[in-house]
A and B are shown apart, each in its own frame.
Chain A
Amino acid sequence: MSGSPQPFRRLDRREFLKVGLASGTCLAMAVGGTPVAAGFDPARVHQAAAKPVFTPNVFVAVDGDGKVSITVQRSEMGQGIRTSFAMLVAEELNLRLDQVTVLQATGDAKYGNQNTDGSRSVRTLYIPMRQAGAAAREMLETAAAQEWGVAVAEVHAEDGQIFHKKSKRSLGYGAVAAKAAALPVPQKPKLKDRKDFTLIGKDHIGIDVDAVTHGQARYGADLRLPGMVFASIEHVPVVGAQLTAMDDAATRAIAGVLDVIKMPSATPPVLFKPLGGVAVVATSTFAAFKGREALKLTWDLGANAGFESGAYQKALAATAAKDCKVVRQVGDVAAAFAKPGKKVKRTYYMPLLAHASMEPPAAVARVDENGCEVWAPVQAPQRTREVVAAALGMDQSKVTINVSLLGGGFGRKSKPDFVAEAAIIAKQVGKPVCLTWKREDDIRHDYYHSVSWQHMEASLNADGYPEALLHRTVFPSIGSTFDPSARAGSEMELGLGFSNNPYQVPNQQLEVGQADAHVRIGWLRAVCNLFHAFAINRFVDACALEAGKDPLAYRLHLLGEPRNLVFSEADKESPYQLNTGRLAHVLRLAADKAGWHEKRPAGVGMGIAAHYSFLSYVAHVVRVKKKADGGFVVERVDVALDCGQMVNTDSVRAQMEGAVVFGLSLALKGEITAEGGRVLQGNFDDYPMLRMGETPDIHVHLVDNAELPTGVGEPGVPPLAPALASALDAVGAPRGDALPLKFV
């Protein structure tokens, strides 16, 4: 693969059409391989359609008894995609969710793009998944009509039966499956009208809930194979460090330790290569952990050993204080700044963040003469297949990637470095291996969310609105993971909330500065939108304050009349242009529901923020209250979301609730720092997460419309931090413009 991820760029119409065409291609392909159920099951005993006789495409299989299975090709990490996709297919098959078995696809190009990132699974596959079900239904109906010698228009599939009302006859889906299989696959099956939906757009319980609540759901480290051994890796302390000496005598003396294996250090570009270090293989994970502690390792720390977060922050600030590379110029900012009038100038900082999914990276791998099979919690199963094949020097056709449930992903598990590690160790020891990263490995060796510094300046006109805006953003790019010479934010990263600022200012200058990466930089839930939304919302508030205006009214004025905005050539053809009316609507909705216009009791402050990301519109109102002891509590958050057509409304609501908690964790506590190149934090004591007692009442308000489906997993996070910071301002307890706010 090219290595460069492009998960976040906007889908233009041409691509949209291509996705539609690709679905046609999928529809024409026969089912192959062996998808597996409930995360994964090595014995594959749960496969529903055990002998499918009708497989019109890679997603639907029907057996002679009428059992229907649906294969989901995207990864489940809590966003509910297995349920949502099953709903899309079942809707068009006229089946209930309890009438289908959901299987999980292995990593295979025949499924189309399987990368589960960019909040785009439903967005890009809403139509193709429905087409997969609709094609199957049409073929079953045609087969039944032929069986009876009646017109297709007279038959109707429902609940696993095909009915011919006139003659009061019916046949099961299974009874006509073989006949349907002989029919041509319709390339443009007719889709249901929105008003006829029975599943889509309603609340549904997740299909894996029972497995989860009974300890039966399987994650990355949960498979047990005969003869399996357990491994853990003492990674290089700094990216690019080299092992210069090793004394493993004490390790090998520990009961249960079977082997110690040197893992070569990743050289730039680090890509998704194993980071390097020393693996300890043992009869239990605990023995492997103990073995690691007993290793005596000497490192040459290499070029990144000079990385100090404090000095680095100062360097970012110094870069942002001076002219950077201009990426957009509208009007004449310098001339506007030269005029007399009110000026506003602020800077914004956000540190490195770690993903810290509850399940640390883990994988099971087996390598033998037939090839390699892995079971792993991965967001990108095809990429995993490529990376594992490359690590083993094996042809991809010999590598099978079974996708388990993910114990959280947030972008971390798009990077299959840990799966390649498991495969390398399995090959070396000749036994199945279960690799577990400790929490400290996860937090110290992440693909971090980028640290950033932004500089913003505005001059206000006589009415108090910005006449000119200068915005500089400086952060090490995700691109550095793929190309060490990439020293500035890419167009894709700038498109995440920076170059598509929705507030109208007649003169604008946007600049991007350079920054070197000293750790692996990756994408984390909402990516650069996190810091761009923070800066822009905070700055709008700062201008509103200077102008003496209400932050909500100020935003609505700056959004102007409802209209579509175009920021780039690609936007011109896009069906997803940013609509200022939709952003204004979520702002008003969140504000109304939160009681923005009502008189606030003493000691209560509210902050508001809105952000457009992953093509969706989100606004937050955060309410904080002064406590008797002088501290503050986040009492309530109102979230308004417009993501177009929804599939499972309850999982959309759940994503917004979760996004508030995720946003509070990063706004209040999240900070990764390094000294001597080494990350200082390692576990939940020094990299804390929000807990139940700190969780506010969360009220989610969903906009019900029939617009194109857009992102859900990520867009709920960005507005939280700026809204919270504003609420603290409003209650007279400003905590500034550097995250985390650390007020509790």
Chain B
Amino acid sequence: MAKFKVNINNREEVVEAEADMPLLWVLRDVLSLTGTKFGCGKALCGACTVHINGVATRSCVLPISAVTDAKITTIEGMSHGGDHPLQESWKKHNVPQCGYCQAGQLMSAAALLAQNPKPDDDAIDAAMNGNICRCGTYQRIRAAIKDAAGQGGTP
């Protein structure tokens, strides 16, 4: 076990964990931040997506030792007032079904818009293809991203 200083959602935390423990399990099992979900453990489904210095990253394969100097953002810290345009848009379009993958979907979408405020369909596909939704909410996710980006999406 080792101690790691991490910055999560703008808070400095010191966590004790094995160096190879993926960030996902540090968040969930050490810090009890359970909004980030486990889906596959192999960076195949995107349910565990968080931001590392603003970049959408799969936390299930990212060892804690690799992120000690990084700024980490999870779904719990996605917005200060809980009013990120995507969170509003997700509600307007009634996107979630079971909701389990949606934290990861939102984190991927937020990173996309931060980098590309007016993404076209291809850019959305490229950014979101790593996030599986078994309930099949893709059409609404696409519409919600476009809406949040101010392009208007057909609901």
Asked if B131 and A692 make an inter-chain contact with CB atoms under 8 angstroms apart, the answer reads: yes
Residue B119 lies at the interface, judged by CB distance under 8 Å to chain A = no
In the complex, what's the smallest C-beta–C-beta distance from A448 to chain B, in angstroms? 16
Given known A287-B18, A359-B98, contact A683–B40 (CB-CB < 8 A)? yes
A215 to B87, CA, bound (A): 11
Contact of A683 among B44, B82, B94 (CB under 8 A): B44
A724 to B9, CA, bound (A): 45
A209 to B21, CA, bound (A): 31
Asked if B128 and A358 make an inter-chain contact with CB atoms under 8 angstroms apart, the answer reads: no
A356 to B136, CA, bound (A): 13
Residue A256 lies at the interface, judged by CB distance under 8 Å to chain B = yes
Which single residue of chain B is at the shortest CB-CB distance from A407? B100
A283 to B97, CA, bound (A): 32
Asked if B21 and A284 make an inter-chain contact with CB atoms under 8 angstroms apart, the answer reads: yes
Asked if B99 and A208 make an inter-chain contact with CB atoms under 8 angstroms apart, the answer reads: yes
Which single residue of chain A is at the shortest CB-CB distance from B25? A286
Contact code string B120-152 (vs A, CB < 8 Å = 1, else 0): 000011101111111111111110000000000
Taking CB atoms, residues of chain A closer than 8 Å to B139 are 657, 695, 697-698
A89 to B94, CA, bound (A): 21
Asked if B47 and A358 make an inter-chain contact with CB atoms under 8 angstroms apart, the answer reads: yes
Residue B52 lies at the interface, judged by CB distance under 8 Å to chain A = no
Residue A323 lies at the interface, judged by CB distance under 8 Å to chain B = no
Taking CB atoms, residues of chain B closer than 8 Å to A408 are 98, 100, 134-135
- Stretch touching chain B among A216-224, A423-431, A575-583: A216-224
Asked if B82 and A78 make an inter-chain contact with CB atoms under 8 angstroms apart, the answer reads: no
Taking CB atoms, residues of chain B closer than 8 Å to A284 are 17, 21, 25, 29-30
Which single residue of chain B is at the shortest CB-CB distance from A438? B41
Which single residue of chain A is at the shortest CB-CB distance from B142? A692
Residue A439 lies at the interface, judged by CB distance under 8 Å to chain B = yes
Which single residue of chain A is at the shortest CB-CB distance from B128? A692
Taking CB atoms, residues of chain B closer than 8 Å to A409 are 98
Residue A80 lies at the interface, judged by CB distance under 8 Å to chain B = yes
In the complex, what's the smallest C-beta–C-beta distance from B94 to chain A, in angstroms? 5
Residue B91 lies at the interface, judged by CB distance under 8 Å to chain A = yes
Closest 8 CB pairs of A and B: A215-B35, A661-B136, A407-B100, A78-B97, A78-B98, A215-B75, A658-B136, A212-B99
A211 to B91, CA, bound (A): 10
A83 to B153, CA, bound (A): 24
Asked if A359 and B138 make an inter-chain contact with CB atoms under 8 angstroms apart, the answer reads: no
* Dominant secondary structure at the B interface: loop
Asked if B44 and A210 make an inter-chain contact with CB atoms under 8 angstroms apart, the answer reads: no
Asked if A209 and B96 make an inter-chain contact with CB atoms under 8 angstroms apart, the answer reads: yes
* Dominant secondary structure at the A interface: loop
Which single residue of chain B is at the shortest CB-CB distance from A229? B29
A708 to B90, CA, bound (A): 32
A703 to B153, CA, bound (A): 24
Asked if B22 and A286 make an inter-chain contact with CB atoms under 8 angstroms apart, the answer reads: yes
In the complex, what's the smallest C-beta–C-beta distance from B76 to chain A, in angstroms? 5
Taking CB atoms, residues of chain A closer than 8 Å to B17 are 284
Given known A284-B29, A408-B98, A692-B141, contact A436–B38 (CB-CB < 8 A)? yes
Contact of B97 among A80, A285, A289, A685 (CB under 8 A): A80
A224 to B35, CA, bound (A): 12
In the complex, what's the smallest C-beta–C-beta distance from B153 to chain A, in angstroms? 12
Asked if A650 and B94 make an inter-chain contact with CB atoms under 8 angstroms apart, the answer reads: yes
Given known A221-B38, A224-B34, A684-B132, contact A214–B18 (CB-CB < 8 A)? no
Taking CB atoms, residues of chain A closer than 8 Å to B38 are 221, 285, 360, 436
Residue A126 lies at the interface, judged by CB distance under 8 Å to chain B = no
In the complex, what's the smallest C-beta–C-beta distance from A399 to chain B, in angstroms? 24
Asked if B76 and A215 make an inter-chain contact with CB atoms under 8 angstroms apart, the answer reads: yes
Taking CB atoms, residues of chain B closer than 8 Å to A650 are 94
In the complex, what's the smallest C-beta–C-beta distance from B60 to chain A, in angstroms? 10
Contact of B96 among A213, A692, A693 (CB under 8 A): A213
Asked if A659 and B136 make an inter-chain contact with CB atoms under 8 angstroms apart, the answer reads: yes
16 contacts between A and B (CB under 8 A): A78-B135, A211-B99, A215-B75, A215-B76, A219-B37, A286-B18, A357-B98, A358-B45, A434-B29, A438-B41, A439-B45, A654-B140, A655-B97, A689-B45, A692-B142, A693-B128
Contact of B87 among A214, A230, A289 (CB under 8 A): A214
A691 to B124, CA, bound (A): 12
Taking CB atoms, residues of chain A closer than 8 Å to B25 are 284-286
Asked if A213 and B32 make an inter-chain contact with CB atoms under 8 angstroms apart, the answer reads: no
In the complex, what's the smallest C-beta–C-beta distance from B80 to chain A, in angstroms? 12
Asked if A206 and B37 make an inter-chain contact with CB atoms under 8 angstroms apart, the answer reads: no
Residue A334 lies at the interface, judged by CB distance under 8 Å to chain B = no
Residue A406 lies at the interface, judged by CB distance under 8 Å to chain B = yes
Residue A177 lies at the interface, judged by CB distance under 8 Å to chain B = no
Asked if A358 and B44 make an inter-chain contact with CB atoms under 8 angstroms apart, the answer reads: no
A277 to B36, CA, bound (A): 28
**16 further contact pairs, Cβ within 8 A, besides A286-B29, A408-B98, A659-B136:** A209-B91, A211-B99, A215-B36, A215-B103, A219-B37, A255-B18, A358-B37, A405-B99, A655-B97, A657-B137, A658-B136, A658-B137, A683-B42, A691-B129, A691-B131, A691-B132
